[in-house]
Structure 1
Amino acid sequence: MTDLNTIVIDEADQALKAKHRAMWASGDYPTLAHDLIWSLGPRVVEAVDVRAGERVIDIAAGSGNAAIPAAKRGADVVATDLTPELFGDGHRRAQDAGAELEWRPADAEALPFGEDEFDVAISTVGVMFAPHHERSAGEIIRVVRPGGRIGLISWTPQGFIGQLFAALKPFNAPLPPGAQPAPLWGDEAHVRELFGDRVTDVRAVRESVRFDRFATGEEFRAYFASHYGPTIAVYNRNADDPAAVAAIDEALRGLGDRAIERDGVIDSEFLLFTATVR
């Protein structure tokens, strides 16, 4: 009975990961990352002070907005992601930047590396989307040597992208058993609990990144509906229900309009979490 249960869980996980890979491969996430959040990569690299000669893993690296600046500092960088379809853009940007690094498909919850293999682990709004948070945190601890450093940037629940996920929740599929909402990684208490006493020198600060390319909520809605995998997935799930699609349109348009009317731009809050492995 135990073996059968294990097989069922494994198959369910495989199906979930396949769904996540397809979601992030849809749209045009590399362009969105370059347009809106490219600055987050250098920010996390600076926060953990990546140094020449260090071995660095970027988990859920996407198209490399953190991996590339880490490599430019002279580090030996491995950029990993569940969705290797994102690597093509990263290859081109790395070449343009004169950066050399390795690109490797990998699941954040089952990294294909040995214990204590890295000096630094970084992730910018990436590892937060792996569904089983304890597994991902455990893998980070496993592959980073004692005394090594961790640097993570995650959207906060109350920030703009956190509000985006809250707006989409009524139209989305329920989370599968054992999965947790991605924005919890942006909650300091949650991340401290995930790592517990396995880390020291913990520092958690809230900062924000500015999306200044949208003049209206409709511009924001249209861009995220065509570029951002999680938004595209929700539209696809409700495609046969015109009323639901209209409600999604209105929810996203209103979210953008409120932010722009309040601040003139969209500021999205994130949590920058750094720590040292014991």
Structure 2
Amino acid sequence: MTEASDAAQADRTLKARHRVMWALGDYQSVASHVIPDLGAVLVKECGVQRGDRVLDIAAGSGNAAIPAALAGADVVASDLTPELLEIGRHLAAVRGATLEWREADAEHLPFADGEFDVVMSCVGIMFAPHHRPAAEEMLRVCRSGGTIGLINWTPQGFVGRMFATMKPYAPPPPPGAEPPPLWGEEEHVHELLGDAVTDVDSRRRTVRVDRFTGPTDFREFFKACYGPTVAVYRAVAGDPDRVAGLDAALDALAAEHTVDGVMEWEYLLLTAHRRS
């Protein structure tokens, strides 16, 4: 095999692993019960209007795509994991939303240059392992003057720290893969977007999470429902000491971030316009 074909095969293997990981557990429960309004926040900040052609990258089960469709936009929800798209189709039907669902890799989008008025992602594109190709694709499919909108967890916030807590228990990442919470760093995202955008507005906000009765409730929920957490626990399942260590670490983190039964999870909200 040539070096190029080796790299292509490695990428296919990596993306297959990502598909499996996000199909684990019950991500829809996380989207619906923990952060149900986050997608609608992004839709509002992007100024989505009736008739806009909108792409939601790494849409999952449609946390942002469905509100955009309900606002009257012509929406495509793309994601690497077909199981999440199928859930999204059902949710859209229940809510009376009409949109297109497409299986697609954020790093290799099957759309034309400048096809969309709004290109957005709500805690989705950040999990593409190679940040620059994903950013380049996001920019490519957005028309001149169109809107780019992103919500991503910050490294310093709860979810970013959760990934740091799980890292010692997880298998090592493949060569070249970048940490997802980097998308929550203003400087990193500004560098990815570069001169291709203008009117950049980035703000740190928090989402209120009051779904959990305590640290153990949080840990057990994520252990059962959140694909990355499920995958880490599977990786250490044969070592009771490591399982107990991960349990304790996540409990301590949740306790640190809970005040009167409420957690505040920090994210970076960024909007910009594609430079003409």
The TM-score by the shorter chain falls in which range?
Answer: over 0.9
Q: Does 1:273 align with 2:274?
A: no
- State how far apart, in whole Å, the 1-side matches of 2:87 and 2:177 are: 30
Matches within 5 A, 1:94-243: 94-243=92-241
Give the letter for the 2:265 counterpart.
S
- State the SS of the aligned residue for 1:37: coil
Once the 2 structures are TM-superposed, how far is the Cα of residue 194 of structure 1 from its aligned partner? 0.2
- Give the counterpart letter for 2:4 in structure 1: T
Structure 1 portions without partners, runs of 5+: none
Once the two structures are TM-superposed, the CA of residue 96 in structure 1 deviates from its matched residue by: 2.1
Unaligned segments of structure 2, at least 5 residues:
none
CA drift of 1:87 comes to: 1.8
Which residue does the alignment assign to 2:21? 23
Partner of 1:89: 87
Tell me, what secondary structure is at the counterpart of 2:177?
Answer: coil
Distance 1:158 1:66 in 2: 24
Rounded to whole Å, the distance in 1 between the matches of 2:174 and 2:88 is 31
Q: What is the SS of the residue equivalent to 2:257?
A: helix
Quote the residue 2:57 is aligned against: 59
Per the normalisation by structure 2, the TM-score is 0.98
Output one character per residue of 1:216-237: Cα deviation in whole Å (capped at 9) or x when no partner. Answer: 1100100000000000110111
Q: CA deviation at 1:91?
A: 1.5
1:32-47 equivalence runs, <5 A: 32-47=30-45
- Does the 8 Å CA contact 2:80/2:104 hold for their aligned counterparts? yes
Q: Distance in 2 between matches of 1:50 and 1:259?
A: 33
Following the alignment from structure 1 to structure 2, what is the Cα–Cα distance between the partners of residues 121 and 67? 11
Q: Matches of 2:57 and 2:132 in 1, distance apart?
A: 15
Residue 92 of structure 1 and its aligned partner are, at CA, apart by 2.1
Counterpart CA distance in 2 for 1:245 and 1:15 is: 27
Query: Aligned-pair distance for 1:206?
Result: 0.6
* SS of equivalent residue, structure 2 residue 83: helix
Counterpart AA for 1:204:
S
TM-score by structure 1 length? 0.97
Aligned residues: 275
Aligned to 2:77: 79
